[in-house]
Structure 1
Amino acid sequence: MKRKKMKRSRAKIKIKIFLGIVVLSLLLAQPSWHLLRIRSAQDRFDVSQMESEMTWVKQKDPWLATIPLVRDSALWLSLNQGQNLTDQELLADDDDKYRFWLFQLKLQKAQLTEASQILSTITSSSTQILGQGLIDMAQGKYDTASQKINSISERNLSKEEVVLKRLTLSRCLLGQGDETEAEKEWEKAKNVAPAHPLVVEEEFDLALVKADWKKAESLLPQIEKWRGSDSNLDFQAKKALLYLTLGQTAQWEQVLATLSQSSEGKSYQTYLLGVQKYQEGEWQTAQTMLKESLSGQLSSALRRDANQALKQVNERLGAETALQKF
């Protein structure tokens, strides 16, 4: 009898263990599936899928946020959506990748001195050269930036750093007025990571330069969805120029109102109003506004465009003055 009871007891224990394993497997099945999707989104730099998965984690399984993969993905998403990140969040781990992300964040905010200081703490010489190239580009030193970046072997770069290398070369070429070669570099970046948000944004910039307004308009909703409430001034200016060209007055005025809310933004607002007056043929007013914008805080790319527009306005005014003499 005792033996029978012991067998029954062991059988019950085995059943309980089996049921426990089944329940545990069911509980972990959904989180595991989402972790796989996060890994996939991370590998492809897919912002839309990443955002969807981070929302699921926040609502359904917040404990997953403690897993390195999820934390890493959340930080990357915040960086690419222009969300506020603290230095502490990106320096919590002694890792070159996070330091380079912090460097990019400072660069986005035009904090070049701080960006340089952070760059000097990165151990990878290739990443340091890439970062210095990005700083040179931000300062409008396109030749110097291109030379530095072209000296880097892609074997020494991560997949995302390869994308940044190609996009930086593309932007430098745009700054030098070489649209054809700029597009070739962009295509190389796209071949590496077609879903990367910076690849899509560069496609938007190329469309604006080529006056392909339909293409630019089709890409804008996708970029705005990623950026959310991002107040990146250069991006706001590009949107405004597209709206001005398309005659979308309400959207144009909305961007101008947004820019007027900060001292830096007011310089961008003045630049855009100068461009508007230029298009309307009000050369004197355009000249005044463009000069005023150049005395403010424009990025190197916008400063280049403002100088070019001012040069054209001055030529128009000079031609009118010459005609009045006859």
Structure 2
Amino acid sequence: MPSVPKAPTWDVQRLPRAEGRNFLVTGGNAGIGYFVAEQLAGTGATVVLGSRDETKAKAAIASISSRVPGAQVRHLPLDLADLASLRTSVDALELDRLDAVVHNAGVALDQPPRRETKAGQELMFATNHLGHFALTHWLTPLLMATPASRIVTTGSFAAKSERLDLDDLQSTHDYQPKRAYARSKLAQMYFALELDRRLGAAGSTTLSVVVHPGGALDSLTPSRPPVQVRTAGERLRGLPLGLLVQGKEAAAWPTVRAVLDPDVRGGQLWGPRVFGLRGRPRSEPLWNQLADTTTAAHLWTASCALTGVVPTFT
């Protein structure tokens, strides 16, 4: 009996070509988002950096262009904390197709006091979840017009031990910054899975995929001046932690695979291979709380009310 050929191993250093495709990366000017954008630019695709800071976006574009000959990268002004501005931002994309959007941008606050957007919503929940929820609504016509497009949402390992409080989504009571951040990321993950269920029910070829980067440290991240600068001292101090976690370049791998790999399926969760903290990307079982479709549906309804948009997929 002839042997069955093995499926090719995904090589993070030899990505498939993607000329003619367009990718939007929110928060692509810094952190993990920068490395997602750099790696995607290396495939020949057009990469749009969604960022509210034009200066930082230009620095990121210059850095990517210096490392990727012929890189096609541009900036889109995007402020996820300002829901009223998102439709204008999407109109400014001026694309005839969008093959993937990476919901990567995020705010993480370490200290009180609780902060709000100008619309009166808790800043982390509003930016990390509600902004991406509303952005998806405005991007839907473009995504659905692009066969096999993808919506890749970045969760966090910090969310694995959390539960959503549907009665206090905005952390009005007993505000704890790290918990509020973790819950905002958990909300993103619930949203992405509910989104995939709704896309499937509508018969859409657009997929929604969840990723998380594991543990990512600046001290283990390669320098990309002026976007990311790592001193020799920081590198030496971070080396022992490299047994457990990784830098932000490697932390981008699950996202990049979720965008490019034709074998990725909607509703999957992708993260690092080694204990979910470091290593090459793999599909992993959904965390227990993410299987709770009732909570996901309630969150969707609440998000519609809080954003004033109702995503539909017909």
| Greater RCO (Cα-Cα under 8 Å, separation 6 or more) | 2
**Comparing both structures, which one devotes a greater share of its residues to strand?**
2
**Comparing both structures, which one devotes a greater share of its residues to helix?**
1
